[in-house]
Amino acid sequence: MKTKLLAGFAAGLFLFGAVCQSQADTLIDTGPGPDNAFGYTLSTNQWLAAEFDLDQDYYITGLYGWMWNSGNTGQNFTISIYGDGGNVPDAANLLYSNGGTIAGTEGHANWEGYEITWTDPVGNTGQFLNAGTYWIAFELRTNNYSNPYDGLMPDPAQNPLGNVAFNDSGTWTTTPDLAIGVRINGDPAAPVPEPATMLLFGTGLVGLAGSRWRKKRK
């Protein structure tokens, strides 16, 4: 009986660990654009965005864009995540936004962005997003910066995303020509363990506790 209980405990522990374990992943990677100073302007007057899909729930941990550095080191930009507004970002549904700094090699295009390192109350790192359709936007918010980036995102990316848009004078407009480089990293959100797995795990714990109690009585 003891052997069976210990086996149940071990099996439950293995399954529980497999369910709870998460592994970092590259969720979206269009590949870089070309390494030259030709592409779509990214400035205080024009923001750029691309639509992406998530097939399951994720914690987003990294957001990057392929951006040109023409002596712009130290200048600032914003990467935001919006809900889906059809062929454009849903401007009324801003889900996440944070600032980045141009840090790559001057005279070249580089992956520019940041890692999301904050942790929620239960220990998950990143910005949680349900499975669905979203937009990643590269923006220059002058109210946040004294030195906003003024440059471009070379295009086309190796595997461009389907829907793209630009923001001019505060309005998002879809365009068939824009093909910017985007990279998004994240961790799969662990699903809730199935009742059968938890029962097996719990049975093993009870059995192990009972075994220890019997030993103490002898």
- Position 142 scores a pLDDT of 85
pLDDT at 23: 56
Q: 201 with 182, same domain?
A: no
Beta bridge partners of 165: 49, 174
* One domain, residues 60 and 109: yes
Higher confidence at residue 120 or residue 210?
A: 120
- Tell me what the mean pLDDT of segment 80-90 comes to: 97
Is-contact 125 118, C-beta < 8 A?
yes
- In the prediction, which pLDDT does 205 show? 46
Angle, CA of 162, 163 and 166, to the nearest 5°? 140
pLDDT at 215 over 60: no
The answer on 137 and 36 residing in a single domain is yes
Confidence at residue 190, expressed as pLDDT on a 0 to 100 scale: 82
Q: Look at the block and give the residue holding tokens 């990294």.
A: 62
pLDDT, greater one: 196 or 100? 100
* φ and ψ of 202, to 5 deg: -65, -40
Residue 41 contacts by C-beta under 8 Å, 6 or more apart in sequence? 151, 152
* pLDDT over 50 (residue 16): no
Q: Is there a contact between 47 and 152 (Cβ–Cβ < 8 Å)?
A: no
Same-domain status, 121 and 26: yes
To the nearest whole percent, how much of the chain has pLDDT over 90? 71
More confident residue, 133 or 3: 133
Is this model's pTM higher than 0.85 or not? no
Domain coverage including residue 27 = 22-189
Residues 7 and 75 in one domain: no
Mean pLDDT, range 45-73, rounded to an integer = 97
pLDDT higher for 46 or 21?
46
CA–CA distance, 33 with 195 (Å, rounded to integer): 47
Same domain membership, residue 32 and residue 126? yes
Number of domains in the chain: 2
Asked if 151 and 184 sit in the same domain, the reply is yes
